Structure 1
Amino acid sequence: MSTILYYITGHGFGHAVRSSQVIEHLTEEYGHKVVIRTSAPRWLFTRPTHGSITFEHEEVDSGLRQNDSLTTDIAGSLEYFSWWEANLTPNVKAELENIDRIMPDVIVCDIAPTGVEAGLRAGLPVVVVANFLWDWILEGYVDESPMFAPIAKKLTSIYSKAQMILRTGLNGGMSRYENIFDIPLIARKSSGTKKEIRDDLDIAHDKIFALISLGGHGLERFYHDLDRRITVAELFTIGEKADNRQKIKVFGRDAAAHEDLVMASDLVIGKLGYGLCSEIISASRGILYTPRVDFVEYNVLAKETEEYVATIKVSQDTFLKGSLDDIIIKLLEMKPPDKTPELNGAEVAARMIDQQYLRGRK
């Protein structure tokens, strides 16, 4: 049995969700042991089996600071990345001690740069799994805050030394790298059909249901006056525990998986992010969303997602304050594009890591 040390940024949910899919294949299909170091919530890693996964809850990369799911705290983000650069040497030293303790055969990072640098200094093969890297994101703020520029350059120098960058679908800003290997989209797939999931969760079959999915940072502004703003559909979401809020049915995380709620829905109302976009593509569900103007990844996600599912973009004012009934009806009437991407990126990533660096060992 080989050991993989997997560093995962705590920014948002999408990085952890797709990492959990790769980890599932590495452990269950190839029989490897995986040690996860991340500040992402433990519940995002849903399928540990046979004691092959060890979870160490540590801050290894928090990425951008956000005020909520639609707004970046640019000043706070600059403060964090400035701290990251100033403390890179001691933080790498600390991770080298963890590497000595864990004794991995390979390092995998999504997209934590400290883990990349520590792995390189330990003389281990380093694989990055990503649809974007932090250098590209920070470059989007240089006009407003030029101090981001040297930090972005430092990040580029680190990522460029990894043995492989496995670039998934829905990607952007990575053409500068020569160590790129393209893989399909990584997507969680529902455990059943729409009918089966609704039966299991006691969701009526004769009503229209919309899933509210607003990401890990929340968006309290969205819920204001929702009873008036949405009347043509029943609403559900997922949370810490089962609850009812206004007209929204809340499924506890122990009762329903997010990808199953996507499948059970007729449409999704949410914030574009890698995890959600990959799941609605997998389930072929349309989405009503609003733009996030201060995050360059948004443009890529919006453009590519609309190639595979029905989408309607509305202004933030409409999304947060206006009636959404007519827009929901329009979305339900839209014919989705006749195009489906490959969704086996997790399987491909695990196979490449195993064959390239672990040589099929168990």
Structure 2
Amino acid sequence: MNNKWLAFYASSHGFGHMTRCLAIIEELLETTDHLIYLASGTYQNSFARVYLARFGDRVTYRDIRTEVGLVNKDNSLQVDIPRLEHELTDFMAGWDTAVAAEVAILRDLPVACVISDISVIGIQVGEQLGVRNIGIANFTWCEQYEFLGLSETIIDRFRKV
């Protein structure tokens, strides 16, 4: 076993991002000897732990908030713009701390690459580790926030990542 690690950062918004990642992770675990580091939200990782149970200790899980995504009005699919901007501002204020904590965990491991769907935390971790950064998604949060007309301060921060 070569013990190379693939670090996955799946958006903690919903389950679509995690299910897409699980299909890729399952294939990698079946066809390579890589180890997987999977960072996502608690709910998403609880699903992943069950789905990937047969791979045992080849997968290490980290329950963290990797994304805000969208915030909807109560009992609605309509986006609550003021609440979303507030949550994003709080989330962005903790980016540096979250990224530093992740880099501290991964820096001594032989990480081959960071694969992100499509967490800004994961992207920054890959950059700081100096490893290949692979993004998988059919959109970026920057595009979503631009479409919703969020604050330029928020959009600019996402655009830079």
- Normalising to structure 2: TM-score of the pair? 0.84
Counterpart in the other structure of 1:10: 12
Q: 1:69 to 1:55 in 2, by over 3 A?
A: farther
**Residue 121 of structure 1 corresponds to which residue in structure 2?**
128
Distance 1:59 1:85, change over 3 A: closer
Q: Is the 8 A contact 2:68 2:91 kept in 1?
A: no
Count of matched residue positions in the alignment of Structure 1 and Structure 2: 154
Distance in 2 between residues matched to 1:116 and 1:7, nearest whole Å: 8
SS at match of 1:37: strand
Corresponding residue number in structure 2 for 1:63: 69
**In structure 1, how many angstroms separate the alpha carbons of the residues matched to 2:37 and 2:157?**
27
Which residue, out of 42, 47, 50, partners 1:43?
47
Cα distance, 1:47 vs structure 2: 3.2
Quote the residue 1:19 is aligned against.
21
Three-state SS of the structure 2 residue aligned to 1:6 is strand
Separation in 2, partners of 1:69, 1:15: 21
SS of 2:54's equivalent in the other structure is coil
Q: 2:85, 2:99 → 1: CA distance? A: 20
Aligned mates of 1:68, 1:111 — CA distance in 2:
26
- Tell me, in whole angstroms, the C-alpha distance in 2 between the residues paired with 1:44 and 1:28: 16
- Per the alignment, residue 154 of structure 2 pairs with 151
Q: Give the drift of 1:68.
A: 4.4
Q: 1:68 to 1:5 in 2, by over 3 A?
A: farther
Q: 1:153 to 1:99 in 2, by over 3 A?
A: same
SS at match of 1:97: helix
AA partner of residue 155 (structure 1): F
Label 1:70 to 1:87 Cα distance change in 2 as closer, same or farther (>3 A).
Answer: same
Question: Helix, strand or coil: the match of 1:131?
Answer: coil
Cα deviation, residue 152, structure 1: 1.7
| Between structures 1 and 2, the one with greater helix share | 2
User: What does 1:206-225 correspond to in 2, within 5 Å?
Assistant: none
Gaps of 5+ in 1: 159-362
Aligned-residue Cα RMSD (Å) equals: 1.9
Q: Following the alignment from structure 1 to structure 2, what is the Cα–Cα distance between the partners of residues 112 and 68?
A: 26
Change (3 A) 1:19 1:68: farther
Q: After the TM superposition, which residues 195-210 of structure 1 pair with which residues of structure 2 at under 5 Å, given as runs? A: none
Counterpart code for 2:60: T
TM-score, normalised relative to structure 1 = 0.40
Q: Do the aligned partners of residues 13 and 69 (structure 1) sit closer, same or farther apart at CA in structure 2, a change above 3 Å counting?
A: farther
Q: Within 5 A, what are the aligned runs for 1:62-101?
A: 62-66=68-72, 67-68=74-75, 70-100=77-107
User: Matched residues in 2 for 1:11 and 1:80: separation?
Assistant: 13
Q: Which has the higher contact order (CA 8 A, sep 6+)?
A: 2
Identity %: 23
Matched-pair contact (CA < 8 Å) for 1:24–1:48: no
Q: Deviations over 1:207-239 (max 9, x none)?
A: xxxxxxxxxxxxxxxxxxxxxxxxxxxxxxxxx
In 2, distance between residues paired with 1:157 and 1:113?
10
CA gap of 1:41–1:62, structure 2 versus 1, over 3 A, is farther
Q: Structure 1 residues 102 and 61 mapped into 2: Cα distance closer, same or farther (>3 Å)?
A: farther
Q: Structure 1 residue aligned with 2:30, among 28, 34, 47?
A: 28
Deviation at 1:114, TM superposition (A): 1.2
Q: Whose radius of gyration is greater, 1 or 2?
A: 1
1:209 match: none
Contact 1:4 1:108 in 2 (8 A): yes
Aligned partners of 2:76, 2:26: CA distance in 1, in Å? 28
1:227-281: CA deviation from partner (whole Å, max 9, x where unpaired): xxxxxxxxxxxxxxxxxxxxxxxxxxxxxxxxxxxxxxxxxxxxxxxxxxxxxxx
Q: Give the CA deviation at 1:84.
A: 2.6
Q: Which residue of 2 aligns with 1:327?
A: none
Aligned counterparts of 2:125 and 2:62: Cα–Cα separation in 1: 17
